[in-house]
Every structure is written in structure tokens, then in C-alpha cells.
């Protein structure tokens, strides 16, 4: 029977949990009900399905107050699955070892006071714990052929090594800050390598994966979803033979996030996060049917109470009109870091755009290369200066490989790194004006070639060093400034054919350094000297501040993220493009207008969004399209000109589950489809404007007709030994046990239900008792058939086939 079982039960809403206080044992009457097994190896199409389901016996085994969670595994290697239950009230793991050929009624009497007698089918042993256990898993950590135990407690992951048969000793302890491990967030699966297991849990709301090396944890890989993940389920959802990870955010508009596994050149890694929208859910389960490579997805919807089954599918991306965006999300190496800077460049000369970002926590730069047919790949880190605050990159020497420039104000160094086919070298310092500290920079293309523009400070005095690639430099004095500019942009806003510089400073007016020709006498003198000595007359830069530029209010909101250049009128000269409020405005600077207008900034074109409440915060361009990020509605607004040249909003793409920041236009999906790269705090999203995307297709759904019932858990297995996969569900309203099965075509069929136990629980209104607290399906009777184990209050209830 090839059935893989992985599941997560998510927390119910606080108001429901509060109304369901666990009753004290004197008020509980536990009477398990045993449906009889009619028995058959299969069923015909015209048979009554309930006739083929039932159980032969019910074992009740007392554990202690608030036990669980529990897992099943062959702990002592005798070929029989054993049951392990965390008993935190007595600080131990209780192991119920299956007996070989047990005899009903053959039970040894307790030898100590208050000792719980064994069950005739199981032999009870205890493994002491020094702390509270939240979750546990088994694996052969040291490769000796015996299973060891790995458990999570508050901020710690602990190995219990089986040094001799059924003898466990505490191994290595790993302290993990903000560890959020629990039954729904602690798993072992092979996701990062083909020859070893990995531990998967949640740290500070992010899915975290550690390669396991004996009882050691390798370097953590963090998968940030942008929201706090509450549970995770590893499974192969696309059937490609690699393990994927589903992260669950129950009440989010997109509660299911899947990182798909990838295998390339013999190594495995996890790709971008794919976000799936559906109603809020309380349960997520991965269900693998016999003969199907891909696991299906089963969920319980919170509001509708439906049990819904999904298949992973693909569909064409809509490419016109207002619509939901199709996108995937990649995690940064340092999720949540607000001091990150990034740039887009073809780093290795293969014609594809790559992303480079800083990781100031690790003092490295991270390259996310684009692979043909794959898109942007997992980041690769390279050492760099400490606390890098600025990053720029371009092919400045024509060898097709980009050079990377970094600035560390902390170390007072500007450095240049050269790129070869495999790595970025550690940056070599570049010379700036003596006695000054570099505070910001950018790479600019001036009339005489590329320059590294570095703003440097000596106390309150600032200047710009324009450094050529051969190390020579010239300086522009900026004078005394209360705050250094954040960035520099090279543009030609006055459209005179010479590049000017715009300086953007947070919460300060923009400054323009306008390229100015030499004075006539200086030009003539320079020409004479040039004829004699080969010296060219040089243009200089004139500093224009707010009061020096007419109509400055038209560009007052210009900043690095919401400003770019674009030839909006097709004149062959690019205008300055600014996104603000609900409009995109194209402007140019005219010192001497020919139409009698006031000198200064002039609006060439303004395009308004259809929504007057929109708030545009960043923008980019793709060919003849303008794309702006709308913070109010978290969408990408696209503007285009019609055949008559009239510009207007043409479409809008709502991005659900990812907060938009700076955006870049280009090709980022490994093909020729245009896309948008959006930067967030935890990761970056690649938004497709065409092509195909992954989707979930609803293939089955079921809802009870009994309004009092509330299903809150799912489990999968073959509970009647007929070779078909079955699924069970637990109900908090009437303690009902629902049974579903899947036929040869994979159709989900509801079979029957029965009450698990009678409980004397009295409450006003609609009572909810989330008991059993856990359900597990495994062979716990040694007959090769799946049994059902449940934790009910202080004991384990086992239905055997």
C-alpha cells in the first residue's frame, strides 16, 4: 500500500477555544463505541460502502494529564510499529512497544504504587525528559541502524540517541531563538540533499530548514512567507520526485504557500514560494493516492466547514484587464532586514537579468542568478565589506561581466569587486577625497563614460567624487548639508544632450547638478590649449536647489524609488517620470521656455489612475508601458498609450499576500515573457505578465448536513485493508468519526460516521469539545493492517482492524 500521510491541524479561532475548556476528569464519561468490521478485500460499485468499514476492537490505554503529541515508528527494529506519546505532566516519553504474538489478558501486575498496568498488546517503557516537549520525530541520526529521537522544547532542539537497544541517552542540544515548533511545525524530510534528511520547523514565523549531520544541525535555510507561518507540511505536490514544503497561514487571503523542490546537477534546493488563494482554513493535509506521483491537498474551510480536495494544476496567465497577479516569491537570505539594498544587472553576461542584494547581517552580497527556463534561482553569498549600505553594478569595462561596487560607511571604504564565471571577488578599495567619509553612492553614465559617484562628508561639509574606472576622480563641492543625499541619479531633464545629476535626500528637497558649458572665454582658452597640449574644454556642474528651480512643487515628491526616465512623447528625449498620489507625471526642465511659460519644471504629460484613492509609491517601465505600484490597493497599475497617443490606465494586477516595494521591469522568468520584479522586506516577487502559472483545481468537496458538527482534524490511511486510500475526520460538536474513501479513479466518497465516545459536557449554546486531540493511522496491532489511534483527554484510544 503506497500511501504517504502528512498533515497539519491548525488552531481554531480564539473564541472557539475559549468556549471549549477541557473538563476535569470527574465530569467525563468515556465510552468508546466499536463499529464491527464486516470485512472484504474490496467493494463493488453497487455495494453499500459502510458494509466494508468497521473495527474489531478498541484498546484504551491511560497515559496522564494532557498527553501528546504521539508518533508511531519501529523504535526497536523488531518489524513492529511502536507508539510514542509525550507525557509532559510526568516529564517523559511513554513508549508502547508492540509485543510479538501477544496473548489477550496476559498482563503483568504493577510492582509499584500508582503504577499504570501494561496493556496486553503493548509493553510500556519510559524515556525521561528534562524539559517540556512540544513535538518529536524519529530518525537514525548516527547511522547505526537504530532509530533515535529528536524532540523540540521551548527554544531548544534535543537529540536522544539510542546507544543500545531501547536505551536512550541525551545527545546534542541546539538552542534556537524564537523556535515555534509544535506537532504542526516539526518535520523531517529530504528537501536540500539527495543523501540525507533535513529538519524543518518554524522560527519567528518563517519556515526554516536545517541539514542534519549526525546530531548536528547544518546552516539554516530560511523561507520567509511575508506573514507568520503557523504550520508546514512537506510532500511532493507536483509529482517531480522532489519534496516540496507547504507553509500554512490559516486566516490569510492566501493561506497556502508552497516552496517547490528543485533538482539540478545532482543537488536539491527549494525554489520560489507560490501563493495560493482560497478561503481561510483550519486543517491542511497532503494525501498521496496509490499510483499517483503527486500528493493531493485536503483542507477544511473555516467558514463553510467544507472538506475540500485539490489537485495541483497549471493555467494560462490572464494578460489583459484588471485581474489577480500571477507571481512567485523568493526569500531573501536575511528576511526582515530593512537595511538591505539591491540592484538588477546581468552579472555574468548571459543576456539574462540577475538580482544582487546585500546581506548586512552576514556581511555579504547575495547573487540570485537567472537560469534559462527556470528564472531567478537560490541566492549565492559572497563576502564583502561590513555593513554595506550602498550597492551598484554594471559592465563598466566591456568584458560582459559586471563589476560590483559597494560602500561601507561603517568602515569608511568604497570598494570594487570583479566578477568571474563563478564568484565575486572581495572588493578592492577605491580612492576618495582625503579626510572625507563616504556616505552614499551610485554608478552613473556621464558624457565621458561611467563614473562612480560617491557622496563624501567631512563633518557637515559634503562633496561628490566622480571616480573614473581607472581611479582618477574629480570633485564637486556641495557645501554644508544637515543630511547627506541618499542617492544620485544621472538624467538629462533639460534635454540639452548633456547628463545632469539629481540628488535625492529623505525628507529634503531634491537638488539638481546641472551640466554647464564652460564660459566663452574659458572655452576659447581651452580650445587653444587643447590644440597645443591635447586638453579638452570641460563642462562643469551648477548646483540648483529648490529656490533656484521654478515650479519646484511639480517635482517635490521625486525620490529614488518613484522616479525614472521615459520618453513619453516620442520626441527622442527622455523625460523625468515621477509616481505620486494617484498619478504618474512626466516632466522636463526648461530654463528658457519658447512658449512664454515660466522658466523651470514643466509637465509634459500626467496620467491619472482610475481609482482616485490610489497611492503610487514606485514605478518602472517595460518597452512602451509604464508600471506603478499602488500601495493603497497593493496592485500594479499599467499605463499605455492608445493608437491616438492618449495615455491611460490599461490594466491593474492585484498582488495578494505580498507587500509591494521598489519594482523593476524586464524578463525574470527564464523565458521571453515580460515580468515585474517587486522587492519586499522578506523576499522578492516575480510577477508574470504572460505565460503559465501554477494553480489549485478543486476536484472534490463534502459538507455535513448536521449544523452542530465542526470537523477539525483529518488523517489518511487504508483503514479497511482493501488497497484503497481512506481518510477520516474528527468532529468537535458531537464527537463523530467520519470515514471517506477514494476509488480507483481517485474520486472521494463519503462512507459513514459513528460517535467515538459519550461525554458528559454541559454548556450553554453550541458546545465544542476538541477531543480527541490527535488522530493517527498506523499498524499498531502487528497484522499488517492500519489501525486508528486517538488521544482522548488523558488516554490513548486505539481502534484495531
What distance in Å separates the CA atoms of residue 285 and residue 378, rounded to the nearest whole number?
27
What percent of the chain has a predicted confidence (pLDDT) above 90?
68
pLDDT at 4: 40
pLDDT at 380: 92
What distance in Å separates the CA atoms of residue 635 and residue 629, rounded to the nearest whole number?
6
Task: Please confirm whether the linkage preceding 291 is cis (ω < 30° from 0).
Answer: no
Which is higher by pLDDT, 278 or 691?
Answer: 278
What average pLDDT does this structure show over 129-145?
94
> In this predicted structure, which of 111-120, 133-142, 144-153 has the lowest mean pLDDT?
111-120
pLDDT at 9: 53
Mean pLDDT, the chain, as a whole number? Answer: 88
What distance in Å separates the CA atoms of residue 394 and residue 414, rounded to the nearest whole number?
16
pLDDT at 636: 96
Indicate the DSSP class of residue 494: T
User: Per DSSP, which regions of 642-703 are E strands?
Assistant: 647-654, 663-666, 675-679, 683-688, 692-702
| Number of C-beta neighbours around residue 270 at 10 A | 24
pLDDT confidence tier of residue 205, bands split at 50, 70 and 90: very high
pLDDT at 282: 94
Pick from 191, 279, 233, 231: nearest CA to 696: 279
pLDDT confidence tier of residue 104, bands split at 50, 70 and 90: confident
What average pLDDT does this structure show over 563-578?
96
pLDDT at 34: 57
Pick from 256, 231, 255, 235: nearest CA to 244: 235
Domain ranges (residues) in the chain: 69-183, 430-518+539-608
Sheet containing strand 342-345, edge to edge, reads 342-345, 354-359, 364-368, 380-383
- Per residue in 445-485, pLDDT tens? 998 899 999 999 999 999 999 999 999 999 999 999 999 99
Backbone angles phi, psi at 488, to 5 degrees: -130, 135
- Per residue in 646-675, pLDDT tens? 999 999 999 988 899 999 999 999 888 899
CB within 8 A of 104, min separation 6: which ones? 120
Coil, helix or strand for 95?
Answer: strand
- Per residue in 332-358, pLDDT tens? 988 888 889 999 999 999 999 999 999
What average pLDDT does this structure show over 679-693?
88
Which is higher by pLDDT, 34 or 487?
Answer: 487
Contact 7/285 with Cβ under 8 angstroms? yes
What average pLDDT does this structure show over 437-449?
94
The vertex-267 CA angle with 264 and 272, nearest 5°, equals: 65
The alpha helices in 571-613, defined as continuous H runs, are: none
What average pLDDT does this structure show over 761-774?
65
Residue with cell 528637497: 509
What percent of the chain has a predicted confidence (pLDDT) above 70?
89
Indicate the DSSP class of residue 419: B
Residue with cell 514605478: 619
Residue 112 has pLDDT above 80, yes or no: no
What average pLDDT does this structure show over 297-311?
95
Which is higher by pLDDT, 126 or 378?
Answer: 126
Contact 216/173 with Cβ under 8 angstroms? no
Contact 127/87 with Cβ under 8 angstroms? no
What average pLDDT does this structure show over 371-384?
91
Task: Please confirm whether the linkage preceding 772 is cis (ω < 30° from 0).
Answer: yes
Residue with cell 500571477: 326
Contact 550/590 with Cβ under 8 angstroms? no
Contact 325/701 with Cβ under 8 angstroms? no
What distance in Å separates the CA atoms of residue 501 and residue 771, rounded to the nearest whole number?
68
Indicate the DSSP class of residue 90: G
pLDDT confidence tier of residue 39, bands split at 50, 70 and 90: very low
> In this predicted structure, which of 192-206, 311-325, 391-405, 752-766 has the lowest mean pLDDT?
752-766
What distance in Å separates the CA atoms of residue 121 and residue 100, rounded to the nearest whole number?
9
| Number of C-beta neighbours around residue 786 at 10 A | 23
pLDDT at 57: 79
Contact 343/354 with Cβ under 8 angstroms? no
pLDDT at 692: 80
Straight-line distance from the first to the last Cα atom of the chain, in angstroms, rounded to the nearest whole number = 16
Pick from 612, 687, 690: nearest CA to 649: 612
**Nine cell digits for residue 502:** 539629481
Residue 307 has pLDDT above 90, yes or no: yes
What average pLDDT does this structure show over 635-643?
95
Burial (CB < 10 A; 0-12, 13-18, 19+), residue 581, is: middle
> In this predicted structure, which of 258-262, 531-535, 601-605 has the lowest mean pLDDT?
531-535
Q: What pTM was computed for the model?
A: 0.83
Residue 37 has pLDDT above 50, yes or no: no
pLDDT confidence tier of residue 742, bands split at 50, 70 and 90: very high
What distance in Å separates the CA atoms of residue 380 and residue 359, rounded to the nearest whole number?
11
What distance in Å separates the CA atoms of residue 232 and residue 245, rounded to the nearest whole number?
7
State the Cα torsion 198-199-203-208 to the nearest 10°. Answer: 20
Residue 157 has pLDDT above 90, yes or no: yes
Instruction: Give me the numbers of helices (H) and strands (E) for the chain, helices first please.
Output: 2, 61
What average pLDDT does this structure show over 746-775?
75
Three-state secondary structure readout of 706-746: CCCCCEEEEEEECCCCCCCCEEEEEECCCCEEEEEEECCCC
CA distances (Å), origin 23, targets 61, 394, 731, 757: 19, 67, 17, 15
pLDDT confidence tier of residue 11, bands split at 50, 70 and 90: very low
What average pLDDT does this structure show over 748-756?
89
What average pLDDT does this structure show over 174-198?
91
612 phi-psi bin (left φ>0, alpha ψ -120 to 50, beta other): alpha
Which is higher by pLDDT, 693 or 417?
Answer: 417
Q: How big is the chain, counted in residues? A: 801
Pick from 403, 288, 387: nearest CA to 343: 403
User: Per DSSP, which regions of 165-317 are E strands?
Assistant: 167-175, 186-189, 198-203, 206-213, 216-217, 221-223, 231-235, 244-248, 256-264, 267-276, 281-287, 296-301, 307-316
pLDDT at 116: 63
Pick from 64, 200, 189, 215: nearest CA to 135: 200
pLDDT confidence tier of residue 589, bands split at 50, 70 and 90: very high
pLDDT at 114: 59
Amino acid at each position: 500500500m503506497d500511501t504517504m500521510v502528512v498533515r497539519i491541524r491548525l488552531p481554531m479561532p480564539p473564541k472557539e477555544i475559549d468556549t471549549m475548556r477541557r473538563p476535569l476528569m470527574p465530569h467525563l464519561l468515556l465510552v468508546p463505541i466499536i463499529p464491527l468490521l464486516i470485512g472484504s478485500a474490496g467493494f463493488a460499485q453497487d455495494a453499500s460502502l459502510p458494509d466494508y468499514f468497521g473495527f474489531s476492537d478498541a484498546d484504551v490505554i491511560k497515559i496522564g494529564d494532557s498527553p501528546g503529541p504521539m508518533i508511531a515508528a519501529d523504535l526497536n527494529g523488531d518489524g513492529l510499529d511502536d507508539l510514542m506519546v509525550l507525557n509532559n505532566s510526568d516529564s517523559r516519553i511513554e513508549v508502547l512497544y508492540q509485543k510479538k504474538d501477544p496473548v489477550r489478558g496476559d498482563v503483568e501486575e504493577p510492582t509499584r504504587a500508582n503504577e499504570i498496568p501494561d496493556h496486553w498488546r503493548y509493553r510500556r517503557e519510559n524515556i525521561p525528559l528534562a524539559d517540556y516537549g512540544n513535538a518529536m520525530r524519529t530518525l537514525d541520526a548516527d547511522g547505526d541502524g537504530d532509530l533515535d529521537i529528536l524532540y523540540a522544547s521551548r527554544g531548544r532542539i534535543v537529540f536522544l540517541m539510542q546507544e543500545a537497544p531501547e536505551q536512550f541517552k541525551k545527545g546534542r542540544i541546539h538552542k534556537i531563538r524564537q523556535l515555534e515548533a509544535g506537532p504542526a511545525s516539526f518535520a523531517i524530510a529530504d528537501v536540500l540533499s539527495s543523501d540525507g534528511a533535513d529538519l524543518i520547523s518554524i522560527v519567528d514565523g518563517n519556515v526554516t530548514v536545517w541539514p542534519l549531520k549526525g546530531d548536528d544541525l547544518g546552516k539554516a535555510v530560511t523561507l520567509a512567507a511575508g506573514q507568520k507561518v503557523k504550520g508546514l507540511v512537506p510532500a511532493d505536490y507536483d509529482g517531480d520526485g522532489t519534496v516540496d514544503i507547504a507553509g500554512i497561514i490559516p486566516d490569510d487571503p492566501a493561506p497556502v504557500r508552497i516552496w517547490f523542490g528543485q533538482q539540478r546537477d545532482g543537488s536539491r534546493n527549494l525554489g520560489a514560494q507560490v501563493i495560493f488563494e482560497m478561503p481561510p482554513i483550519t486543517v491542511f493535509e497532503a494525501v498521496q493516492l496509490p499510483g499517483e506521483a503527486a500528493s493531493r491537498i485536503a483542507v477544511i474551510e473555516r467558514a463553510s466547514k467544507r472538506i475540500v480536495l485539490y489537485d495541483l494544476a497549471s493555467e494560462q496567465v490572464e494578460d489583459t484587464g484588471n485581474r489577480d497577479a500571477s507571481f512567485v516569491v523568493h526569500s531573501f537570505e536575511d528576511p526582515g532586514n530593512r537595511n538591505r539594498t539591491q540592484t538588477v544587472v546581468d552579472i555574468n553576461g548571459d543576456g539574462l537579468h540577475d538580482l544582487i542584494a546585500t546581506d548586512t547581517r552576514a556581511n555579504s552580497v547575495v547573487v540570485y542568478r537567472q537560469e534559462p527556463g527556470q528564472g531567478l534561482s537560490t541566492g549565492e553569498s559572497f563576502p564583502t565589506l561590513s555593513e554595506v549600505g550602498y550597492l551598484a553594478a554594471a559592465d563598466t569595462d566591456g568584458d560582459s561581466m559586471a563589476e560590483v561596487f559597494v560602500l561601507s560607511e561603517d568602515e569608511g571604504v568604497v570598494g570594487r569587486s570583479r566578477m568571474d564565471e563563478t564568484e565575486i571577488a572581495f572588493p578592492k578599495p577605491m580612492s576618495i577625497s582625503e579626510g572625507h567619509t563616504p556616505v552614499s553612492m551610485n554608478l552613473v553614465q556621464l558624457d565621458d563614460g561611467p563614473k562612480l559617484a560617491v557622496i563624501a562628508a567631512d563633518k557637515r561639509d559634503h562633496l561628490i567624487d566622480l571616480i573614473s574606472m581607472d581611479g582618477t576622480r574629480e570633485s564637486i563641492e556641495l557645501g554644508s548639508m544637515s543630511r547627506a543625499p541618499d542617492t544620485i541619479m544621472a538624467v538629462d531633464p533639460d534635454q540639452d544632450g548633456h547628463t545632469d545629476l539629481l540628488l535625492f535626500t529623505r525628507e529634503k528637497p531634491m537638488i539638481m547638478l546641472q551640466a554647464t558649458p564652460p564660459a566663452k572665454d574659458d572655452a576659447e582658452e581651452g580650445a587653444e590649449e587643447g590644440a597645443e597640449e591635447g586638453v579638452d574644454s570641460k563642462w562643469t556642474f551648477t548646483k540648483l536647489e529648490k529656490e533656484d528651480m521654478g515650479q519646484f512643487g511639480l517635482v517635490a515628491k521625486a525620490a529614488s524609488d518613484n522616479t525614472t526616465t521615459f520618453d513619453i512623447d516620442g520626441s527622442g528625449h527622455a523625460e523625468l517620470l515621477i509616481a505620486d498620489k494617484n498619478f504618474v507625471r512626466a516632466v522636463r526642465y526648461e530654463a528658457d521656455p519658447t512658449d512664454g511659460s515660466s522658466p523651470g519644471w514643466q509637465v509634459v504629460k500626467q496620467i491619472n489612475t482610475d481609482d482616485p484613492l490610489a497611492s503610487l509609491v514606485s514605478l518602472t517601465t517595460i518597452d512602451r508601458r509604464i508600471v506603478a505600484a499602488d500601495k493603497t490597493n497593493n496592485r500594479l497599475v499599467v499605463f499605455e498609450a492608445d493608437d491616438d497617443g492618449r495615455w491611460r490606465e490599461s490594466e491593474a494586477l492585484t498582488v495578494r499576500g505580498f507587500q509591494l516595494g521598489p519594482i523593476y521591469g524586464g524578463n525574470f522568468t527564464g523565458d521571453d515573457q515580460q515580468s515585474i520584479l517587486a522587492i519586499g522586506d522578506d523576499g522578492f516577487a516575480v510577477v508574470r505578465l504572460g505565460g503559465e502559472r501554477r494553480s489549485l483545481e478543486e476536484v472534490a468537496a463534502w459538507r455535513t448536513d448536521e449544523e452542530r458538527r465542526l470537523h477539525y482534524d483529518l488523517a489518511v490511511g487504508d483503514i479497511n485493508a482493501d488497497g484503497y486510500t481512506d481518510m477520516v475526520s474528527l468532529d468537535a460538536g458531537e464527537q463523530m468519526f467520519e470515514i471517506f474513501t477514494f476509488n480507483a479513479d481517485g474520486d472521494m466518497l463519503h462512507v459513514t460516521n459513528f460517535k467515538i465516545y459519550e461525554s458528559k459536557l454541559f454548556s450553554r449554546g453550541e458546545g465544542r469539545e476538541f477531543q480527541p486531540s490527535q488522530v493517527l493511522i498506523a499498524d499498531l496491532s502487528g497484522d499488517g493492517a492500519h489501525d486508528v489511534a486517538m488521544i482522548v483527554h488523558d488516554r490513548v484510544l486505539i481502534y484495531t482492524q
